[in-house]
Structure 1
Amino acid sequence: MENKEYKNWVCVGDINRADTQFNRGGGTVCLNSPNLWKNYRDSVNEIEPCPRRRSKTFDFLSSPLSENQDRAIPFGN
């Protein structure tokens, strides 16, 4: 799916991907420039996705279930 309304926007920022910087904001500036967008688009060789943040809510699931029966979450009631 393509969104032509936002096609030529280029945003450059310093979002913080480090866990230690999770609560600290970053800065970003966006420009609507077809030529700049094309230059950036043509220079991309590969994309590295952000790692998924693991919720501490489900950390107990990494241990064997028998150790955590008192904390088990009922599903589908």
Structure 2
Amino acid sequence: MNEYPRFFGDSLQSHYPVIASEIALALRHQQTQIELVASENIVSPAVLEAQGAVLANRYAEGIRCCAASMSIASRHLRSIA
């Protein structure tokens, strides 16, 4: 009955591999480097999981291109647009 069978199963990697790669690089950087920026925080995996939970659907615009709002990959957006 689901008209969009892949909608709930597709990953960021399958649609935006460059952005997924940049996120993975940022995670590795955060895990191995010390950032001395007072306004930045490192959150636990539980917080990251909660922020990406279905509760975020309430505020999502539903636009597939909203990945552009991820500042972590903004330097690559021009190359994949």
TM range (shorter): under 0.3
Higher helix share: 2
TM-score (norm 1): 0.21
Which has the greater radius of gyration?
A: 1
Q: TM-score, normalised by structure 2?
A: 0.20
Ranked by relative contact order (alpha carbons within 8 Å, sequence separation 6 or more), the top structure is 2
